[in-house]
Amino acid sequence: MNDLAVFTPEILKAGRRYSRLVPAGADLSWAQEKLFVLGLLDKSDSLKACTPESIADAVLQAGSMGLSFNPSLKQVYLIPRKESFRRKGENESWTAFNKLRANLRTYAYASPSYLGMTHLCLSRGGFRAIESQIVHEKDVFEYYGVGKEPLFKMARGNRGAIEGVYIIGRLATGETLSDWMDVATVEKIRACSDAPDSLMWKEFYEEGMKKAIVRRSLKLWPKSQIVAEAVEYLNVHEGMGETIDADAIPEAPVDRLNKDQVLLIESKLSDAGFSTDKWTSKIAQAYRETVLADIPSAEFESVMARVDKAIAAKQSKLS
C-alpha cells in the first residue's frame, strides 16, 4: 500500500494536462477534482495499492468525458483492479505460481455510472432525454420494438420479482429509441464481466442492470464520438467488449412455443374478439421476437397471463 504522498507528483502532472482534455462547456474544476480524488485515495486502502500512474490516467480519462468524481453527483467511480493473469501451468509449482501472482500490479480506472453515462448522452451525445426503469412482475409492461416507446405502468405496493430493465432515449431530432433486457440476459452480461461479484452487482444490482442496458443500447443507437469512446473505454476495462451484445453470447438451444401452444393463444384472442394478427405481433414484440413461434416455451404461462389480462381489461370496459 502506498502512502498518499506517493501519488502527489503524478496527480500534479495530470493537472497540467487536465484543462486541455476537458470538453468545452463542461462544469469541471481541476482544483475541486484534485481534492475529490485525494479524498477517495485517503479513504481507500485498495486505491492506495494502485499505481500512481493509473490514478492519474483515470482522472484524465474522467475529465475527457466531462465527468466529475464529486461523490454527491455519482457520475464516475475510481475502481481498483488487479492485472489479469494466466492460469497455473500444468507442470508449474504452486509456490512459483503464487509468487508471480503476488507481484501483479493493481491499477485504477474511471468507471462511469449509469448516471454518468446518462449525463454524457444529454450533454454531449445528442439526446434531449434518456430514462431507464426496472420492470417487476406485477408492473404493466409491453415492449413494441426499438423505434417505439414501451408501455409501462408501475404497480403499487409489492411489485414482485424483477423481470428486466428497459431504456428510452429521445434524440434532439425528435426520434424515440428504446431497448429491453430481461434478467437472464443481464446475468449473462454480468457473467462475462471481469468482476461479476463486484460491489455494484452485489449491493446495487439495479444500478448494474441500468448500466448494462445503456451500454448495449449505445452500441446500436446514434451517438457522438465522445459517447462512443466512453463505451469503448468501459468495454476494455470491465471485460465485456463485444459480449455486451446479448446476441453474441453463446447460448444453449432454447425450446420455442409449439404449434398447439400457438393455436391455443390465437384461439383465445380470436374468441375474445381481438385482431389475431395485431395482438400476436404485439405479444411477440413484448418478448423481443417477431412471431409467437419464436417465443421460448418457458414463457408460455407468462404469455397466457398477458392474454388473460388483455381479455379481462376488455370485458371490464364493456361492462
CA 68 to mean position of chain CA atoms: 19
310 grid coordinates? 388483455
Segments in the chain forming alpha helices (H): 4-21, 30-43, 45-48, 52-64, 94-102, 114-124, 183-192, 199-203, 205-220, 225-238, 259-271, 276-286, 300-318
* Other CB atoms within 10 A of residue 295 CB: 25
Query: If pLDDT is split at 50, 70 and 90, which confidence band does 239 have?
Result: low
Query: If pLDDT is split at 50, 70 and 90, which confidence band does 243 have?
Result: very low
Q: Residue 124: which of 167, 76, 64, 175 has the closest Cα? A: 64
* pTM score above 0.85: no
Q: Residue 37: which of 64, 65, 60, 66 has the closest Cα? A: 60
Residue 252: predicted pLDDT: 37
HSE-CB at 164 with a 13 A cutoff on CA atoms is 18
DSSP letters, 3-28, are: -HHHHHHHHHHHHHHHHHHSPTT---
Say how far apart CA 38 and CA 36 lie, in whole Å.
Answer: 6
pLDDT digits (tens, 9 = 90+) for 64-122: 999 999 999 999 999 888 765 555 566 767 677 666 666 678 889 999 999 999 998 99
DSSP letters, 45-74, are: HHHHTB-HHHHHHHHHHHHHTT----TTT-
Produce one character per residue of 51-72: b if its CB has 16 or more CB atoms within 10 Å, e if not. bbebbbbbbbbbbbbbbbbeee
CA 123 to mean position of chain CA atoms: 19
pLDDT digits (tens, 9 = 90+) for 11-63: 989 999 998 888 878 889 999 999 999 999 999 998 999 999 999 999 999 99
Residue 53: predicted pLDDT: 93
Does residue 246 surpass a pLDDT of 60? no
